[in-house]
């Protein structure tokens, strides 16, 4: 494939890119292709959301006690079914399932990758036709080939991620994924049903002036976070402040904007109940991997990158501050007090 050709599909690109890894077997490209296929099917459903009986809640809750929307369940089933039938996926863990699923057929047992995902991110935006997304990451299993996947395959630090990304179902549908070779974005051309390379080697701009947080909750985030928010809102022409506040409420959409325009996204600890909201394995790790591979930074609030947190539980949640390095540095100074 000529990498400079005008039209390059996701499948062509992943095959081309993953061949650049030493000892590549082509299996990673297949897993990425399968995730892309699942997301095209989810996209089809999302686009018809108002026409078919897909809006609203199912009447059930997930393991985290959150009400499941019909699209949460649909997207989860699609991803599981496609990855179960993939030739190269040993198992999955999903935000919507209590436990991980190890696929126990011979082909899966001999696959080296496991996939974690938030099948439908931004559930509260489904019924109002705002952007929603899917988030995923791929880890190389630590258990031996030929056996079924085990919990330790999933409970790996984000820094071990092999590939991670997201799909945004927005004004257009885009898939963005990162490997250690960089971050690239593909826009879905619905006329040919292919994700086509549209954003090569994505990098955050040097700095940004947009901060994203659910500011209505700022009383719960504590004094230090509130002081940082005051810094964002203060008038200082030299530093280009006040910053602009934008908050979509879909992490995928807020991170996608941060990747393109710069700035930072925050979901701090709720100090009234000591609970963070966003999930380490399905949201924070994949997004931190994408942003860090694009030149940004992520932290839980101390000196540690999100990618250095050792997961102990599949549904573990962590505080997150993520975006331009200079802004992450600034927020850390405020958090240290
Ligand atoms: P999900 O729809 O997968 O449950 O995720 C929603 C998440 C995330 O996308 C978003 O950033 C955040 O929850 C919004 O939370 P608030 O409504 O508390 O701001
Ligand atoms: Mn989510
Ligand atoms: Mn979700």
Name which residue sits closest to atom 12 of ligand 1, judged by CA: 249
Look-up: residue for tokens 């999933």?
154
44-55: average pLDDT: 80
Q: What is the pLDDT of residues 308-324, one digit of tens each?
A: 999 999 999 999 999 99
Which of 267, 268, 270 is the best mutation target for the ligand 1 pocket, counting ligand atoms within 8 Å of the beta carbon and taking the most? 267
Ligand 1 closest atom vs CA 122: 2
- Token pair, residue 134, equals 């899917």
Of residues 28 and 50, more confidently modeled: 28
Could you tell me the CA-to-CA distances from 300 to 26, 135, 309, 333 in Å, in that order? Answer: 34, 19, 9, 13
The CATH classification number of 210-336 equals: 3.40.190.80
39-43: average pLDDT: 97
CA–CA distance, 282 with 32 (Å, rounded to integer): 16
CA–CA distance, 317 with 275 (Å, rounded to integer): 8
Domain ranges of the chain: 10-199, 210-336
Beta strand 113-121 with 132-140: parallel, antiparallel or unpaired? antiparallel
Q: What is the pLDDT of residues 135-171, one digit of tens each?
A: 999 999 999 999 999 999 999 999 999 999 999 999 9
Which of 135, 166, 214, 249 is the best mutation target for the ligand 1 pocket, counting ligand atoms within 8 Å of the beta carbon and taking the most? 249
Q: At what angle do helices 223-233 and 325-336 cross, to 10 degrees?
A: 140
Pick the CATH number of 10-199 from 3.30.70.1520, 3.30.540.10, 2.60.40.10, 3.30.830.10: 3.30.540.10
Q: What is the pLDDT of residues 235-272, one digit of tens each?
A: 999 989 999 999 999 999 999 999 999 999 999 999 99
Task: Check whether 2 has a pLDDT greater than 70.
Answer: no
Dist. CA 282 → ligand 2 center (Å): 7
- Closest to 184 (Cα-Cα) out of 171, 170, 203, 168: 203
DSSP character string of 236-270: BGGGTBSPEE---S-HHHHHHHHHHH--EEEE--B
CA–CA distance, 116 with 137 (Å, rounded to integer): 5
- Token pair, residue 253, equals 């959409």
Dist. CA 135 → ligand 2 center (Å): 8
Task: Check whether 56 has a pLDDT greater than 80.
Answer: no
- Token pair, residue 195, equals 């994700």
Q: Is 142 helix (H, G, I), strand (E, B) or coil?
A: coil
CB 44 within 8 A of CB 74: no
CA–CA distance, 195 with 176 (Å, rounded to integer): 10
- Nearest ligand to the CA atom of 96: 3
CA–CA distance, 198 with 173 (Å, rounded to integer): 11
The set of protein residues with a Cβ atom below 6 angstroms from ligand 1 is 66, 95, 118, 121-124, 214, 249-251, 277
Q: Give me the pLDDT at residue 49, please.
A: 74
Q: Give me the pLDDT at residue 320, please.
A: 98
Q: Give me the pLDDT at residue 119, please.
A: 98
């Amino acid at each position: 494939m000529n990498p400079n050709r005008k039209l390059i599909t996701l499948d062509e690109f992943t095959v081309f890119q993953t061949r650049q890894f030493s000892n590549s077997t082509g299996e990673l490209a297949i897993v990425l292709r399968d995730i892309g296929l699942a997301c095209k099917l989810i996209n089809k459903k999302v686009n018809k959301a108002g026409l078919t009986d897909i809006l609203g809640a199912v009447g059930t809750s997930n393991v985290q006690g959150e009400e499941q929307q019909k699209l949460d369940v649909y997207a989860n089933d699609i991803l599981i079914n496609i990855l179960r039938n993939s030739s190269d996926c040993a198992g999955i863990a999903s935000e919507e399932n209590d436990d991980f699923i190890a696929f126990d057929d011979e082909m899966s047992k001999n696959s080296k990758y496991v996939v974690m995902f938030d099948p439908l991110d931004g559930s509260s935006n489904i019924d109002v036709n705002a952007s929603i997304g899917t988030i995923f990451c791929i880890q190389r299993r630590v258990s031996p080939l030929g056996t079924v996947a085990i919990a330790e395959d999933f409970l790996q630090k984000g820094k071990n991620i092999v590939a991670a990304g997201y799909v945004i179902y927005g004004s257009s549908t885009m898939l963005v994924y990162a490997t250690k070779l960089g971050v690239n974005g593909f826009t879905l051309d619905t006329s040919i049903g292919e994700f086509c390379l549209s954003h090569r080697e994505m990098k955050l701009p040097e700095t940004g002036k947009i901060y994203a947080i659910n500011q209505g909750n700022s009383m719960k985030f504590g004094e230090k976070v509130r002081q940082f928010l005051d810094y964002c809102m203060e008038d200082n022409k030299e530093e280009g402040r006040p910053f602009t506040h934008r908050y979509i409420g879909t992490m995928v959409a807020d991170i996608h904007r941060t990747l393109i325009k710069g700035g930072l996204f925050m979901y701090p600890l709720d100090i009234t109940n000591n609970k963070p909201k966003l999930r380490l394995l399905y949201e924070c790790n994949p997004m931190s991997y994408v942003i860090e591979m694009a030149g940004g930074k992520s932290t839980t609030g101390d000196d540690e990158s999100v990618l250095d947190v050792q997961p102990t539980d599949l549904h573990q949640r962590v505080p997150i501050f993520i975006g331009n390095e200079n802004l992450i540095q600034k927020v850390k100074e405020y958090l240290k007090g």
